[in-house]
Structure 1
Amino acid sequence: MLEKCRNAKERWGGVSQIIDQWLEQRQQVISGFINLPDAEVGEMLNARLDEFCSNLIDYISSGHFEVYEQLLNEGKDFKDGSVAEAQKLLPLIQSSTDSALDFNDVIHGFSSPTLRELRDFSTQLSCLGEKLEERFELEDQLIEILHNAHKEQINATA
């Protein structure tokens, strides 16, 4: 997952300040996710969970309320059908948003977990990781469809 994030930064880094910031947020989410399983149960785990969930919600919010909007507006300017193609991805991305929000809600009550809750947490974390990986791939497709397809035309008019 981290390697794919680096590849995305290499492909789209420097193209747009909003995309650069968003990809940096993505890397923070991935890094936090990778470090969660190594945290000791107790205050250390709770602190890492709080930071991870905060970064996750910030990342998701930036995507929905800034990045996707910018990319869709950019695509609309070209009237080449790319917006319709990209909009097919949004409901798929929304599925992972729902999973992330559900995870965030569950984690807020996770201060003194039982063994069962720890086992369930492990399962939930694994499922979230799968959803995030799917999300990152879909978001990369969104960038590819709406930004890279028009990059040369945008640079020519700049």
Structure 2
Amino acid sequence: MYTRLESAQQKWGGSLTAIDNWLDERQRLIVRYCELAALPPFDKKSGNSLPDQADIQHFCQLLMDYLSAGHFEVYEQIVSQCAVNGQDSRKLADSLYPKIAHSTDMALEFNDKYAEADGKTLSTNFDRDLSTLGQALVERFDFEDELIQTLHNKYSKAITA
């Protein structure tokens, strides 16, 4: 996840403020995810202990912020640029949105389940649900990167024209 993010930041960084801000939010989300999942370099030395509720709440807040930024900032710009710059881009956006929406639904369910969860809920399903969410986020990031590439290409062409 993080390696792909670095690649995206190198590729599109500095081209549009909305993209930069969104990729920064993605970075914070990925780091927090890795901390919760105890992935290197954040792996826990003390065994199978679950994260603190405050850490989960912070992750859920970052997750909701990231989803909101995508839907209300970046996606709107992509749609408006696609409308201006051609139907091929619009078709791509229209084909990717339902795929992205699937991960949005999963993220919202995760947030609803764990943002205010008790210890019993955490102990039975948290690791499995976090792993499932992580897989959905990886797919989402790939779809979003296709949209960002489209926006970047159109934006770059508009500037050079």
TM-score, normalisation: structure 1: 0.89
Does 2:152 match 1:148?
A: yes
Provide the alpha-carbon RMSD of the alignment: 1.7
Does 2:71 match 1:64?
A: yes
What is the CA deviation profile of residues 2-37 of structure 1, one whole-angstrom value per residue up to 9, with x for unaligned ones?
A: 111111111110010011000000001100000013
Q: What pairs with 1:113-152 in structure 2 (closer than 5 Å)?
A: 113=120, 117-145=122-150, 147-152=151-156
Give ranges in structure 2 of 5+ residues lacking alignment: 39-43
Partner of 1:3: 3
Give ranges in structure 1 of 5+ residues lacking alignment: none
Q: How many aligned residue pairs are there? A: 152
Relative distance call for 1:18 and 1:113 in structure 2 (3 A) is: same
Name the amino acid aligned to 1:155: I
Residue 118 (structure 1) shift = 1.8
Q: Distance in 1 between matches of 2:87 and 2:116?
A: 47
Percent of aligned pairs sharing the same letter: 36
Q: Which has the higher contact order (CA 8 A, sep 6+)?
A: 2
Partner of 2:115: 108
8 Å CA contact 2:81–2:155 kept in 1: the answer is no
Residue 143 (structure 1) shift = 1.2
